[in-house]
Structure 1
Amino acid sequence: MLFHTLDFAIFLPIVFVLYWFVTNRNLRLQNLLIVLASYLFYGWWDFRFLVLLFFSSFVDFCVGIYLGKENHPRNRKMLLWISLIVNLGMLGFFKYYNFFLQNFVDAFSFFGKKVEPDSLKIILPVGISFYSFQTLGYVMDLYRRKLEPARDFITFSAFVSFFPQLVAGPIERATHMLPQFHVKRYFNHDQAVNGLRQMLWGFFKKMVIADNCAIYANMIFDNSSSYAGPTLVLGALFFAFQIYCDFSGYSDIALGTARLFGFELMRNFAYPYFSRDIGEFWRRWHISLSTWFRDYVYIPLGGSQGSAVIKIRNIFIIFLVSGFWHGANWTFIAWGALNALYFLPLMLAHKNRDNIAIAAQGHLLPSARELAGMIITFSLTLIAWIFFRAENMQHALSYLERMFGGLTDPAAYREAWTFIHVNTGFAIHFLIAAFIVLEWIGRDSQYAIQHFSLGWRKPVRWAFYYSIAVIIFLYAGKEQQFIYFQF
Structure 2
Amino acid sequence: MVFSSQLFLFYFLPTFLVGYFVLYKLHAKHSTLNFFITIFSYVFYGWLEPWLVFLMFGCTLVVYVAGRFISAPGASKLQRNLALGAAIAVNLGALAYFKYYMFGMGIVNDVITKLGCEPFSVMTVLLPVGISFYSFQSMSYAIDVWRGTAPPVKDFATFACYVALFPQLVAGPIVRYNTVAEELATRTHTLENFVRGISFFCFGFAEKIFLANQVGIIADRVFAADAPGVLNSWWGSLAYMFQIYFDFSAYSNMAIGLGLMLGFHFPRNFNGPYRSKSITEFWKFWHISLTSWFRDYLYIPLGGNRVGTARLYFNLFLVMFVSGVWHGANWTFVCWGLYHAFFMIVERANNKNAFYYKAPKLVQVLITQVIVLFGWVLFRADSIGEAWRMWKSMLGFNAVSSADAILSAEIFTPTCLFFMALAALLSFWKFRSFDWCSKVSPVRMAVALAIFIVAILALFTQSYNPFLYFQF
Match of 1:98 in 2: 102
* Structure 1: distance between partners of 2:189 and 2:430: 27
* Structure 2: distance between partners of 1:149 and 1:339: 36
**Identity %, equivalent residues:** 33
Deviations 1:142-176 (A, max 9, x none): 11111221000011100010000011111110111
CA shift for structure 1 position 240: 0.6
Deviations 1:101-128 (A, max 9, x none): 1101111223x32232120111111111
CA shift for structure 1 position 2: 0.5
Structure 2 matches for 1:127-146, cutoff 5 A?
127-146=130-149
CA shift for structure 1 position 484: 0.9
Give the CA RMSD over aligned residues: 2.5
In 2 relative to 1, CA 460–57 (structure 1 residues): closer, same or farther, beyond 3 Å?
A: closer
Q: Contact conserved, 1:217 with 1:239, CA < 8 A, in 2?
A: yes
Q: Contact conserved, 1:442 with 1:448, CA < 8 A, in 2?
A: no
* Structure 1: distance between partners of 2:84 and 2:42: 26
Match of 1:466 in 2: 450
CA shift for structure 1 position 265: 0.5
Match of 1:425 in 2: 413
* Structure 2: distance between partners of 1:369 and 1:468: 39
- For residue 365 of structure 2, what is the amino acid of its counterpart? M
Segment of structure 1 superposing worse, 151-160 or 370-379: 370-379
In 2 relative to 1, CA 269–96 (structure 1 residues): closer, same or farther, beyond 3 Å?
A: same
Deviations 1:289-328 (A, max 9, x none): 1110111011111111221110111011000000000111
Match of 1:398 in 2: 389
Match of 1:220 in 2: 222
Structure 2 matches for 1:59-458, cutoff 5 A?
59-69=62-72, 70-110=74-114, 112-183=115-186, 185-223=187-225, 225-351=226-352, 369-406=360-397, 419-438=407-426, 443=431, 446-447=434-435, 450=438, 454=441
Q: Which runs of 5+ in 1 are unaligned?
A: 355-366
* Structure 2: distance between partners of 1:369 and 1:188: 46
* Structure 1: distance between partners of 2:6 and 2:262: 20
What stretches of structure 1 move > 4 A for 4+ residues in a row? Answer: 414-418, 438-442, 447-451, 458-461
- For residue 467 of structure 2, what is the amino acid of its counterpart? F
Q: Contact conserved, 1:280 with 1:352, CA < 8 A, in 2?
A: no
Segment of structure 1 superposing worse, 18-27 or 428-437: 428-437
In 2 relative to 1, CA 92–463 (structure 1 residues): closer, same or farther, beyond 3 Å?
A: closer
Q: Which runs of 5+ in 2 are unaligned?
A: none
Q: Contact conserved, 2:132 with 2:326, CA < 8 A, in 1?
A: yes
Q: How many residues are matched? A: 465
* Structure 1: distance between partners of 2:235 and 2:354: 31
- For residue 192 of structure 1, what is the amino acid of its counterpart? F
Q: Contact conserved, 2:37 with 2:165, CA < 8 A, in 1?
A: yes
* Structure 2: distance between partners of 1:240 and 1:303: 30
Q: Contact conserved, 1:438 with 1:449, CA < 8 A, in 2?
A: no
In 2 relative to 1, CA 422–126 (structure 1 residues): closer, same or farther, beyond 3 Å?
A: closer
In 2 relative to 1, CA 433–376 (structure 1 residues): closer, same or farther, beyond 3 Å?
A: same
Per the normalisation by structure 1, the TM-score is 0.89
**3-state SS of paired residue (1:214):** helix
* Structure 2: distance between partners of 1:427 and 1:151: 55
Per the normalisation by structure 2, the TM-score is 0.92
